[in-house]
Amino acid sequence: MTDHASDTPQAAKGQGQAMWGGRFSAKPAELMQAINVSIGFDKRLWAQDLAGSRAHARMLISQGVIASADGDEILKGLDTIEGEIAAGTFPFRDEYEDIHMNIEARLRELIGPTAGRLHTARSRNDQVAVDFRLWVRDACDRSVGQLEALQKALLAQAEAHADALMPGFTHLQPAQPVTFGHHLMAYVEMFGRDASRFRDARARMNECPLGAAALAGSPFPIDRHQTAASLGFDRPTANSLDSVSSRDFALEALSAASITATHLSRLAEEIVLWTTPMFGFIKLTDAFTTGSSIMPQKKNPDAAELIRAKVGRILGSLTTLTVVMKGLPLAYSKDMQEDKVPTFEAFDALELALLAMAGMVADLTPNTEVMAKAAGAGFSTATDLADWLVRTLNMPFRDAHHVTGSAVKTAEGLGVDLADLTLEQFQAIEPRISQDVYAVLTPAASAASRMSYGGTAPAQVRAQIARWKEVLA
């Protein structure tokens, strides 16, 4: 069919002449091509580009803008191209700059000059806008799925260890006993909000820019509602200038990704801490650790460290695209071609981090004895003593706090825990303290007593696990 193609004046200009080359008499400089070419990275949009082209072609046919026979030829050609890409035989060529012109050029080789009718009522500006939106929408959907898988891994561990005591920290100092299940469920909440941010972003971005054409809309009788519906969008975008010049849908997805990455990095940091022998709270198997080439005893939590670091790349992508977009006059500018690499990189990193974190969470085994022992250290039930003084002796909390402080000071001086003080020692501080006080001084009693909604009592933790299981079912 290449002979057909050479009938057109445009194609007659021969190899290397760009598709927009009508008014040009010389080829671009090599450096111009080097800075301009994007096929190396935007080939990742091939599926979205084909989907957009099919929706556009079908609409042009049903609106009578192009003849059915031409439209069918175009659709068949697009099928062939899809087969070639799937088979790895499609020629991605730098000389055709980007994915849009690579596909159109190949279509012309396959079906001849009819290929040129596909670009009626369309521009690369609305084409790339719809392709990229479709890609980001898919990325948001994938992130939601990966977040839910991670939540399920956390839920399984939380359910298995709903009663397992561990120290709860503030300032990374022992604060009050909590359960391991409760601690893990905190991340289930965070990742749940992350998933909802991706859902919100998706809902807001789900408008179709196709048909905005270059910037001003089209004089052809196109049906933008049809193309929007056929690509799964809720409606067409309502302003053609905005359609081709906005990338806030990507910024929003990247900010959701950045927040997710900060949550991942916090859990990763805890895994790093918990696996160090100084904590010894959890163990990872060989599957999620690496050894040292010099220190035979080492088992390093590299996956956790790399997840902790990914936030740099992901937040960097948000920064990159924000700076690219800042100060751009309406409508399209080529600056916007720089939207893809950071977005692809961010979601590649996020996907890997989410999958690795889910794997690592499923892999970990808590050392419940070590954690329970640590749960009682550092006078972690001091608040329980103060609360007991308030409840039993009707003391104002501030006074109870002071009495408890004295008890801690005494115990610390003797090198013992609060529960090891004798009744006489307690009564020397506050004569009304009775034997009952010992019941509230164990970490288990402390945790079990925190029955307020969302508290660490195992019964509360189980209720939240049950709720989340239903949400994620």
Near ligand ARG by CB under 6 A: residue from 53, 102, 114, 125 = 125
Select from 46-54, 257-265, 333-341, 446-454 the region that touches ligand ARG (CB under 6 A). Answer: 333-341
Can 292 be counted among the known catalytic residues? Answer: yes
> Which of the following is catalytic: 62, 68, 196, 292?
292
For β-strands 207-208 and 173-179, DSSP reports them as unpaired
Can 62 be counted among the known catalytic residues? Answer: no
Select from 9-17, 215-223, 319-327, 334-342 the region that touches ligand ARG (CB under 6 A). Answer: 334-342
213 touches ligand ARG (CB under 6 A): no
Cβ at position 241, least distance to ligand ARG in Å: 14
Closer of 23 and 334 to ligand ARG (Cβ): 334
Is residue 129 within 8 Å of 156, Cβ to Cβ?
Answer: no
For β-strands 365-366 and 282-283, DSSP reports them as antiparallel
Cβ at position 228, least distance to ligand ARG in Å: 20
Near ligand ARG by CB under 6 A: residue from 5, 18, 38, 110 = 38
Closer of 128 and 256 to ligand ARG (Cβ): 128
Near ligand ARG by CB under 6 A: residue from 124, 161, 197, 308 = 124
Cβ at position 128, least distance to ligand ARG in Å: 4
> Which of the following is catalytic: 25, 171, 293, 452?
171
Torsion region of 14: left, alpha or beta (phi above 0 gives left; psi -120 to 50 gives alpha)? left
Query: What does the alpha-carbon distance between residue 7 and residue 14 come to, in Å, rounded to a whole number?
Result: 11
320 touches ligand ARG (CB under 6 A): no
Cβ at position 28, least distance to ligand ARG in Å: 13
54 touches ligand ARG (CB under 6 A): no
456 touches ligand ARG (CB under 6 A): no
128 touches ligand ARG (CB under 6 A): yes
Closer of 38 and 227 to ligand ARG (Cβ): 38
Given the rule CB under 6 A, which residues bind ligand ARG?
A: 38, 42, 98, 124-125, 128, 332, 334, 336-337
Where in the sequence numbering do the catalytic residues fall? 171, 292
